[in-house]
Amino acid sequence: MTTTRADVPQVTVTRWTRTSRVGTPAVLVLFVIMFALPFMTALSNVRSVTDLLIFIILGSMWNIMAGYGGMESVGQQAYIGLGAYGLVVLADQLGINIFLAVPLAGIIAGIIAFLFSFLAFRLVGGYFAIGTWVIAEVVKLIITQFPSLGLGSGISLYAMSAFDRDLRIAVSYWIALGVTVLALLICVLLVRSGFGLGLTALRDDPIAAATSGVDVSRAKRLVFVISGVGTGMAGAIIAISTLRVQPDSLFSVQWSVLMIFMVVIGGVGTIEGPIIGALIFWGLREALADYGSLYLILLGIIAIVFALFFRGGVWGLIQKRRRFSVFPTGYSTWFGRLK
């Protein structure tokens, strides 16, 4: 049989799929439309969507650390508190513009996360999780010793008093929207990079990753710091939204439980998963918050069911039926014929 050039298969490898070519522009258009939300709906709805954006940031940052870096922390509330208190110090006590104070608060949280990593990385598995929780409690105890920070009763944020109530709600929403876009962009770029491939290998088998040339300590530390920066900025947004910084609220372990819930429900180790998980949690909270303890019981049941039977989360279930992605983070191949 004679083989012609047309019979030779051609393999094309690309990051962009049919769905990501549609999904990525659609997400960008959605964010542009969302910028105008304060002019389109009631301010109560704007505040609610601000909470959703905070949830997306927190879920994405925990997922980057645990879903890709393999570090399952229950002490991320430390950086929420540090970001919130850092914002008060920067904006109120040092007079720095609120728009500049938010990223600076995140950077402060990241620097402290870098220092904590040398202690936390001595622990592995469950010990690491418990250790990060203990670190968060220690941070809380230290902060409550400073009279300038309100001791144990907390402190109010006065930097937003320059804005009237309506503008303050809109400004906090716009800041949350901007940080959300930045967080998702960092996640996508990180996963697309060669460093992201090393992270995936590290998560699956640290020893094998190390023998393949991945600097395990450096990779884990970088992800740990990035997560601290993003979580710190989320804490700063919480302070702007509530105008009050209270240690018992900000340093509560419930924040880490919330992050874990969103990522487990949405899908660990994916960009889309934490977004879906945040939407589910936010929707359940809005619909069932009036039911008190029953609402919390339902969340617990949902988390247990997904942890036992649907470990890939909602996004994993979607991928089983048809494999596609919203963001161009992986590789796909298609076969054709040379002409």
Q: Is the pLDDT of residue 177 over 80?
A: yes
What average pLDDT does this structure show over 206-231? 82
Sign of CA dihedral 39, 242, 238, 146: positive
| Torsion angle of the four alpha carbons 197, 58, 107, 168, in this order, in degrees rounded to the nearest 10 | 140
- Flag whether pLDDT at 70 surpasses 70: yes
Inside any domain, residue 259 = yes
Range of the domain at 211: 27-337
Whether pLDDT at 308 is above 60: yes
Nearest to 176 by CA among 49, 80, 45, 275: 49
Specify whether the CB–CB gap between 262 and 275 falls below 8 A: no
Any domain includes 263: yes
The DSSP bridge partners found for residue 13 are: 333
Query: Is pLDDT at 115 greater than 80 in this prediction?
Result: yes
CA distances for 255 relative to 11, 75, 136, angstroms: 46, 9, 11
**C-alpha R_g of the chain:** 22
φ and ψ at 75, to 5 degrees?
-125, 20
Reported as a pLDDT band with limits 50, 70 and 90, residue 83 is very high
pTM of the model: 0.88
On the question of pLDDT at 87 being above 60, the answer is yes
For residue 59, count CB atoms less than 10 angstroms from its CB and return exposed for 0-12, middle for 13-18, buried for 19 or more.
buried
Task: Evaluate whether residue 12 is within a structural domain.
Answer: no
Q: Does residue 198 fall inside a structural domain? A: yes
pLDDT of residue 27: 79
Check: CB of residue 27 under 8 Å from CB of residue 326.
yes
Beta bridge partners of 156: 244
236: left (phi over 0), alpha (psi -120 to 50) or beta: alpha
Mean pLDDT of 274-283: 91
Burial string for 209-232 (b: 16+ CB within 10 Å, else e) reads beeeebebeebbbbbbbbbbbbbb
15 belongs to a structural domain: no
The single-letter DSSP state of residue 148 is G
Return d(Cα 169, Cα 181) in angstroms, integer.
19
Q: Is residue 10 part of a domain?
A: no
Where is pLDDT greater, at 285 or 82? 82
Helix (H, G, I), strand (E, B) or coil at 333: strand
Between 18 and 71, whose confidence is greater?
A: 71
- Give the residue-averaged pLDDT of 131-159: 89
Higher pLDDT pick, 32 / 90: 90
The pLDDT value given to residue 338: 42
Domain annotation covers residue 273: yes
Burial of 49 from C-beta contacts in 10 A (0-12 / 13-18 / 19+): middle
The Cα 49–Cα 40 span in angstroms is: 13
Is residue 272 a contact partner of residue 326, using CB atoms and an 8 Å limit? Answer: yes
**What are the distances in angstroms from CA 74 to CA 9, 79, 255, 258?**
50, 11, 9, 10
CATH number of the domain that 284 lies in?
A: 1.10.3470
The confidence score (pLDDT) of residue 1 equals: 46
19 belongs to a structural domain? no
* Over residues 148-175, mean pLDDT: 86
Structurally, the chain folds into a number of domains equal to: 1
User: Which pLDDT score, from 0 to 100, does residue 288 have?
Assistant: 79
Under DSSP, the state recorded for 250 is H
